[in-house]
Amino acid sequence: MKRIITACASGVATSQTVASKVKSLLEEKGIMADVEAVDIKSLDAYIKNCDVYISITPAGNSDYGIPVISGIPFLTGVGRDEALQQIIDIIKK
Amino acid sequence: MLKTVVNAILGLGPAVFLPMLMLVIGLIIRMKLKKAFAAALTLGVAFLGMNVIIEFMFSAIGPASQAFVENTGLQLNALDLGWTPLASIAWAWPYAFLLFPLQIAINIVMLAFGWTNCLNVDMWNVWNKILTAVIVVGVTGSLPAAFVVAAIEVVFELKNADLTQKQIYKITGIPGIALPHSMALTAILLAPINRVLDFIPGLKNNNINAAKVKEKIGIFGENHVMGFIVGMLIAIFAKYDVKGILTLGVQSATALTLFPMVAKLFMQALAPISDAAGEFMKRRFPGREFYIGLDWPFLAGQPEIWVSLIILVPVILAMAVILPGNGVLPFGGILNICFAGAAIIVTGGDLIRMIILGVISTPLYLYVATSFAPMITDLAKSVGTIEIPAGQLITWNGLEAPGFRWIFAQAADVINGNFMGIVFLIGYLGICVWYYKYMSKREAEVIEELGLGA
């Protein structure tokens, strides 16, 4: 199973909102994936085994060696379909 | 009759009535029964899960904090749990869910009349208003007063989102969003101090590479590392032996690591409601241009936030010990994220100023946490199944908008013939007027600087 990771300041609210949203959108398309929300302060420890990082903090992203997608569209709704398609394209590879 | 039914349901305890309520709401917003049931049960799991960790924490840190008080003679009886257990306690308040329609209705009315440009889809932080309401009930004993103050908070949050939107865009580079989080209300008190700092030579245009510093000290921001250190410090002052010190360190690390993991379950359970509410609001205003109000973590990528918070940890610990009348033993809220959210806006991300503002505002956070500890403890006792040891209080150092909450709670006490708070309120509103002009000017400057004007 492909692993998708999101992160916010505590791994509780915003990142979990995005994770739940992405997971249910993928399920609607019949795609099963692990979507996990973590604490951004501990991101380095979690990101190693993941396939995509959905970031809600456009500034200050280091090079993690995996694709990074903006999570903001999943919060605002603007550009959501495009962002979802990007994720699908990556995990279907 | 109705009252008997309601009391019987509330008598089942929040671990049972919250999922029941959630199931009903889920079905009303047309979730499938299977999903609604799963989400509802998750809420019960989240609530009991949080209780399990709080109990674990009290069994470990409770005795140590009492030994700390006995050995040092410092009356730090209010253990700071941080925000996650408080959210759990707040959601269990019997009237908590009424704050959803309150926030949504005020937002829609303000958008309809053009009084704000912010459409707040952040339903998670409805719990901020719940906490405010709980505090106001604690101070005044009046439920209507609690809802009035919560309503005023919603208005303040939206207006403040309008007043900071361009400045936040300049910091984050994310278009179309705003920050209607109550933590940002502290900017009202931080802005005048920041203005005074303008007159101090040497504070202009300092450029420190916060990202570099964060690489070096960022590890201290991780929950388990910070828990380990603070736990050991408490044990040392409690005169534990080496084994005891290390054990309490690991136990504290465990509590602070598990709190957010369980708190995440609340969001999982509430996500469908929050989603439906957000969609409901967006449908009200098709085609209208506005900013989407989000929770604060889109700012959390700024390294200045974490660097300033970590540097402020020893300051908070020292002040907790030194300040006369402080009752807070800092622990779970030692990284004061709610300060950083406000400070980064006011200073535009200037690290040195953030640290200075942090030192100046630490007493405010500690004293307000001290002042509200009895109300928070009472609520925890009345809603929870948590056994809080006698004489022990719980609180949260760094709760959002300490100034707003304290002043409005005291002002609301006018219904009990206590006029002291009104005096504070008049002063506060004066600062608000200045703040409105100051921030409007800064917004205009950013518009000009970034060429955002039409």
Q: In the block, which residue shows the tokens 């604490």?
A: A39
Average pLDDT over residues B374-383: 89
Residues A8-44: tens digit of each pLDDT: 888 888 999 999 999 999 999 999 999 999 999 888 8
More confident residue, B191 or B303: B191
Distances (CA, A) of B131 to B41, B83, B267: 23, 11, 17
Identity of the residue numbered A25: L
Question: ipTM exceeding 0.90?
Answer: no
d(CA B290, CA B295): 16
Q: Would you report the helix, strand and coil content of chain B in percent, each value rounded to 5?
A: 75, 5, 25
Half-sphere exposure of B317 (CA within 13 A, CB side): 17
Q: What is the rounded average pLDDT for all residues in chain A?
A: 89
8-state DSSP, A40: G
More confident residue, B225 or B289: B225
Q: Residue B10: is its pLDDT beyond 80?
A: no
What total of structural domains would you count in chain A?
Answer: 1
d(CA B321, CA B330): 10
Query: Measured between beta carbons, which residues in chain B are less than 8 angstroms from residue A11?
Result: 260-261, 264
Q: Is residue B49 part of a domain?
A: no
Q: Is residue B38 part of a domain?
A: no
A61 Cβ partners below 8 Å, 6+ apart?
A55, A68, B301
The token duo for A70 is 């903006």
For B80, the enclosing helix (H) or strand (E) is strand B78-80
Average pLDDT over residues B65-72: 89
Query: Measured between beta carbons, which residues in chain B are less than 8 angstroms from residue A73?
Result: none
Mark yes or no for CB contact A60/B292 under 8 Å: no
Query: Measured between beta carbons, which residues in chain A are less than 8 angstroms from residue B261?
Result: 11
pTM of the complete model: 0.90
Half-sphere exposure of B78 (CA within 13 A, CB side): 26
Q: Is residue B250 part of a domain?
A: yes
In sequence order, which ranges of B222-326 are alpha helices (DSSP H)?
A: 223-237, 242-284, 303-322
Q: Is residue B53 part of a domain?
A: no
For A92, the enclosing helix (H) or strand (E) is helix A80-92
d(CA B189, CA B403): 8
Query: A4: distance to nearest CA of chain B, Å?
Result: 16
Q: Under a CB-based contact definition with an 8 Å cutoff, are residues B412 and B148 in contact?
A: yes
Quickly state the pLDDT bin for B202 (edges 50, 70, 90).
confident
Mark yes or no for CB contact B267/A16 under 8 Å: yes
Searching chain A, which residue's CA lies closest to the CA of residue B219? A41
The answer to whether B221 faces chain A, any CB pair under 8 Å, is yes
Average pLDDT over residues B439-444: 96
Q: Is residue B195 part of a domain?
A: yes
Give the orientation angle of helix B2-10 with respect to helix B14-28, to 10 degrees.
120
Q: Chain A residues with CB-CB distance to B under 8 A?
A: 8-17, 20-21, 37, 39-42, 55-61, 72, 75-78
The token duo for B257 is 């690591």
The answer to whether B277 faces chain A, any CB pair under 8 Å, is no
Distance of CA A11 to the CA centre of its chain: 12
Query: A39: distance to nearest CA of chain B, Å?
Result: 8
Query: Measured between beta carbons, which residues in chain B are less than 8 angstroms from residue A62?
Result: none
Q: What is the CA radius of gyration of chain B?
A: 22
Mark yes or no for CB contact B223/A9 under 8 Å: no
The answer to whether B244 faces chain A, any CB pair under 8 Å, is no
Q: Is residue B415 part of a domain?
A: yes
The token duo for B398 is 């760094």
Q: Would you report the helix, strand and coil content of chain A in percent, each value rounded to 5?
A: 45, 20, 35
Q: What is the CA radius of gyration of chain A?
A: 12
Torsion angles phi and psi, residue A29, rounded to 5? -90, 5
pLDDT of residue B278: 81
d(CA B91, CA B284): 27
Searching chain B, which residue's CA lies closest to the CA of residue A19? B268
Q: Is A50 a catalytic residue?
A: no
Q: Computed from CA positions of residues B222, B268, B393, B371, in that sequence, does the dihedral angle turn out positive or negative?
A: positive
Query: A33: distance to nearest CA of chain B, Å?
Result: 16
What total of structural domains would you count in chain B?
Answer: 1
What are residue A7's DSSP bridge partners? Answer: A38, A55
Inter-chain contacts counted by CB atoms under 8 A, chains A and B = 109
Q: Is residue B25 part of a domain?
A: no
Q: Residue A60: is its pLDDT beyond 70?
A: no
Distances (CA, A) of B344 to B307, B350, B354, B364: 12, 7, 7, 18
> DSSP string spanning B132-172?
HHHHHHHHH--HHHHHHHHHHHHHHHHHHHHHHHHHHHHHH
pLDDT of residue A61: 66
Q: Is residue B305 part of a domain?
A: yes
Residues B232-256: tens digit of each pLDDT: 999 999 999 999 999 999 999 999 9
d(CA B393, CA B376): 8
8-state DSSP, B414: G
**Residue of A8, A50, A52, A87 marked catalytic:** A8
Query: B300: distance to nearest CA of chain A, Å?
Result: 6
Give B75: exposed, middle or buried? Use CB within 10 Å, 0-12, 13-18, 19+. exposed
Q: In the block, which residue shows the tokens 């039409």?
A: B454
Searching chain A, which residue's CA lies closest to the CA of residue B46? A12
B300 Cβ partners below 8 Å, 6+ apart?
A8, A9, A40, A56, A57
d(CA A7, CA A38): 5
Nearest to B153 by CA among B167, B178, B136, B177: B136
- Domain of residue A82 covers 3-92
B107-116, B239-248, B297-306, B396-405: the lowest-pLDDT one: B297-306
pLDDT of residue A26: 94
Degrees to nearest 5, angle at CA B340 with B334 and B342: 135
Mark yes or no for CB contact B297/A72 under 8 Å: no
- Domain of residue B385 covers 64-450
Nearest to B396 by CA among B86, B87, B132, B113: B86
